[in-house]
């Protein structure tokens, strides 16, 4: 199994909402903490690897 497929600072998209660009802020315990690129003040979003696309 691949650990940390998306390094910090990577641009990714959530499978449930692929129109929104996300930036990986942190990766810890197999969870990605992402921020919305166009709305930095927006609440941080949390995803598992299988929920993200490059």
Q: Determine the pLDDT at residue 33.
A: 97
Q: Determine the pLDDT at residue 47.
A: 97
> For residue 2, what pLDDT band results from cuts at 50, 70 and 90?
low
> Tokens 């990766």 appear where?
27
The DSSP annotation for 3-53 comes to S-SS-TT-EEEETTEEEEEEEEEEEETTEEEEEETT-TTSPPEEEEGGGEE
Q: Determine the pLDDT at residue 40.
A: 79
Q: Determine the pLDDT at residue 3.
A: 73
Residue 20 has pLDDT above 90, yes or no: yes
């Amino acid at each position: 199994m691949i650990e940390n497929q998306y390094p910090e600072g990577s641009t990714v998209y959530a499978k449930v909402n692929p129109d929104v660009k996300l930036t990986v802020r942190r990766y810890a315990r197999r969870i990605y903490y992402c921020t919305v690129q166009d709305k930095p003040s927006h609440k941080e979003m949390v995803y598992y690897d299988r929920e993200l696309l490059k």
